[in-house]
Amino acid sequence: MSVERTRPPHGGHGEHGITVLLKSMRDAVAKEGSAQDRLDHLTRVIAIHVVADVCSIYLRRPDNDLELYSTEGLNPAAVHKTRLKWGEGLVGLVAARHSPLVTSQAPKHPAFAYRPETGEDPLHSFLGVPLIRSGKTLGVLVVQNKARREYTHGEIEAVQAVATLLAEISASGELLSQEETEAVGAMLHGPEKVKGFGIVSGIALGRAVFLQPPTPKHKVFAAAPAAEAARLEDGLSELRRVVDEMLASNASLGGVSREVLETYRLFAYDRGWKDRLRAAVFSGLTAESAVEQVKAENRARLSQSRDPYLRERLHDLDDLSNRLLRLLAGEKNGGKRILHEETILFARTMGPAELLECDRNRLKGLVLGEVSATSHVAIVARALKIPMVTGAPEAMERTEEGDQAVIDGDAGEIHIRPAPETLESFRTKQSRYQERQAIYASEKNLPSTTRDGVDITILMNAGLALDLPYLEETGAAGVGLFRTELQFLIGTQLPSVATQEALYREALDLAKGKPVVFRTADIGGDKTADYMDHGDEVNPAMGWRGARMAMDRPGMIRPQLRALLSAAAERDLCVMFPFVTVPAEVDEIRELLDREIDRARRRDKQLPNNIRVGAMIETPSSAWRADLIAEKVDFLSVGGNDLAQFYFAADRDSERVQRRYDPMNPGFLSFLRATVERVSKTGKPMSYCGEQTTDAVTAAALIGVGVRQFSVPAAFVGPFRRLVRSLDAGKAAEWFKAHESAPIVSLRSAFTEFLNENGAVLE
């Protein structure tokens, strides 16, 4: 056995602080006596080492109450008597939020709940940390002090580390009685309904499977650190073998998916991660507990980052940690998830590569807790037409592995352990949904013309090569928006020209002659990678992004333009620049394109037969001067999401603000109509893309204000065509002109009534 495998690491936790605490906790767990005696001794040990006047442990009961199980510093008579409802008081708030809570004036906190039997009157400072295992809150660890003080970042991290171990101990059976251990893991088993946000439409039924499933039970403390270090080394070696094998077996994957897998390998071979794991082992933990502790530390640190890319990387570290835990437990291949015939996959975070690895015949739906509608996994799920709901992290806590689950991607609902009648109603709804899809497919070759003879061009959005087959399936006229930034956001460096060229050429090949509009990388704002020096902006959505970044960093945009020109050689190329705000920016960015064209000619490179250049209208400034911008390009595209956000000064990623405005606002629609009229005078085509196009009422209003070309998600091409064919565009325009000055917040209700009365199909 090598010295490296068994010797304590240099530095690390050292022989003081957390190491001493862990050893004391191990002794407390091994202490003779009743379960309550051991728990009380453990609480006392924690209080002494974190220098707290009070240390208390609350455990979650089957009815979701949080019961005071042990305390050092409060009235002992309150143990097993004091209870707080889920979300009640500071303790309940910590459990409900699934995150720590710190305050120096606990009695003045709006959530404070006074319990006279505890004797906590003189206490002011409060630090509460949830006991989390396998994504579920099992209880709360509370530290309190009489003095008003601010707990340091180091103290908070130390208490979080202790809480991680307490959760493991509570579930392992090492501390509590068998009955109490079973009660700790008990959750509600009746039917539950959780409300989230629908990201991908559709109905999905199946059995719940966790991407990060409950880890095998294991001991928390080890008697022989050297032996645990050897086990850890073996586990890491096997993990690296599995990751290498994953890359080798997925050699056909390219672009974004390949780069994600390469990122996994970088993390798996990271020396710093390994050193931290070994340091935890030599502090007295088993290899499994060391992995759990370091994983919790990573999550606590990275989840606070403002950088979206770093937050996205959490899933990489979590996935590797869980694979390693299963390898340590003796499972082959890191315990890769075995899916049921019909599976609903639950995960807090997930990356596109993990989704692409799943058996798509068995995977019916996704419930994700920490992703947005524009995240990479959401885009892939939409391309694969896998119903998806997000924004309901509590669903993870209320669901057990194997539970029956139903998700409604349209309503944003998750039904856990549904009653038989509920399940039957959703089977009926799913059957109707599938019937509608069959109807859409049968209508794919019908002209998208309104009842009064107005032709509407329907294009689709894409961002991956796997999106392109839907051109044929849906009958879309082409790709109106191909997002190219995914390659830039995943990976540790800018994608090479060759890598980009391969993706663009594949997209054009799969389009089979239909037009594909490539939007140059819309980088910046909320879309950045860690290798990009984007500074610390207070409002990144209005900062250094899109065309602005491209003009300031030609070293990023020019290789992409070079790849596009090469991929489209002897074919037509449509390239569009994002976030153009004033006409002069078009001149500057077109100059970069001209330089790449000259470069290709000097090298006798084949060029596209025809190059069409477009610009995106995403701000009021560009909309107001859309006619001047149109004179400098071949086509325009309105980015409805951003344009609405800037028009209303409402961050589209803020749930609170989002509820305050509606694109059916008469002022916004009037603004769009004026933009359409200005552009129409130039004779240049203008399309509209944005989430508003997936809402039938808003889409009909857009036709009413004069928009004649749309780019929509593939799943909405069919419903959109049916809407168009059922609509009288002239009547819609007349209705809008009669109501555009109405002094109301939204025309939605009145316009919906008009559409229903005139036979419009709103699906």
Beta strand 125-133 with 203-210: parallel, antiparallel or unpaired?
unpaired
Q: Which of 302, 303, 281 is nearest to 290 (CA)?
A: 281
Find tokens 């316009």 and name the residue: 751
Q: Which of 398, 397, 399, 392 is nearest to 371 (CA)?
A: 392
Beta strand 203-210 with 197-200: parallel, antiparallel or unpaired?
unpaired
Residue 129: DSSP 8-state: E
HEC profile of 189-247: CCCEEEECEEEECCEEEEEEEECCCCCCCCCCECCCHHHHHHHHHHHHHHHHHHHHHHH
Cα–Cα distances (Å) from 449 to 145, 721, 756, in that order, read: 71, 8, 19
**Cα–Cα distance for residue pair 89/98, rounded to 1 Å:** 14
Burial class (CB in 10 A: 0-12, 13-18, 19+), 31: middle
> Active-site residue among 55, 358, 574, 689?
689
φ/ψ region of 614 (left if φ > 0, alpha if ψ in -120 to 50, else beta) reads beta
> Active-site residue among 376, 415, 534, 574?
376
**Cα–Cα distance for residue pair 617/177, rounded to 1 Å:** 65
Q: Which of 423, 452, 460 is nearest to 725 (CA)?
A: 452
Q: Which residues of 143-160 are buried (b: 16+ CB within 10 A; e: fewer)?
A: bbbeeeeebeeebbbbbb
Look at residue 662 and give its three-state secondary structure. coil
**Cα–Cα distance for residue pair 119/122, rounded to 1 Å:** 8
Find tokens 């051991």 and name the residue: 38
Q: Which of 572, 573, 485 is nearest to 529 (CA)?
A: 485
Backbone angles phi, psi at 705, to 5 degrees: -90, 0
Which contiguous run of DSSP H or E holds residue 365? strand 363-368
| C-beta of residue 524 within 8 angstroms of C-beta of residue 548 | yes
Q: How far apart are the first and last CA of the chain?
A: 67
Known active-site residue 376? yes
| C-beta of residue 651 within 8 angstroms of C-beta of residue 541 | yes
**Cα–Cα distance for residue pair 5/22, rounded to 1 Å:** 22
DSSP per position, 468-510: TTHHHHHT-SSEEEEE-THHHHSSSSPPPHHHHHHHHHHHHHH
- Around 390, how many Cα atoms within 13 Å sit in the side-chain half-sphere? 19
| C-beta of residue 131 within 8 angstroms of C-beta of residue 166 | yes
- Around 122, how many Cα atoms within 13 Å sit in the side-chain half-sphere? 8
φ/ψ region of 524 (left if φ > 0, alpha if ψ in -120 to 50, else beta) reads left
Cα–Cα distances (Å) from 167 to 45, 137, 180, in that order, read: 16, 8, 13
Burial class (CB in 10 A: 0-12, 13-18, 19+), 19: middle
Which contiguous run of DSSP H or E holds residue 584? helix 583-602
**Cα–Cα distance for residue pair 663/476, rounded to 1 Å:** 25
- As given in the structure block, the two tokens for residue 332 are 């082959």
- As given in the structure block, the two tokens for residue 730 are 């002239």
Residues recognised as catalytic: 376, 689
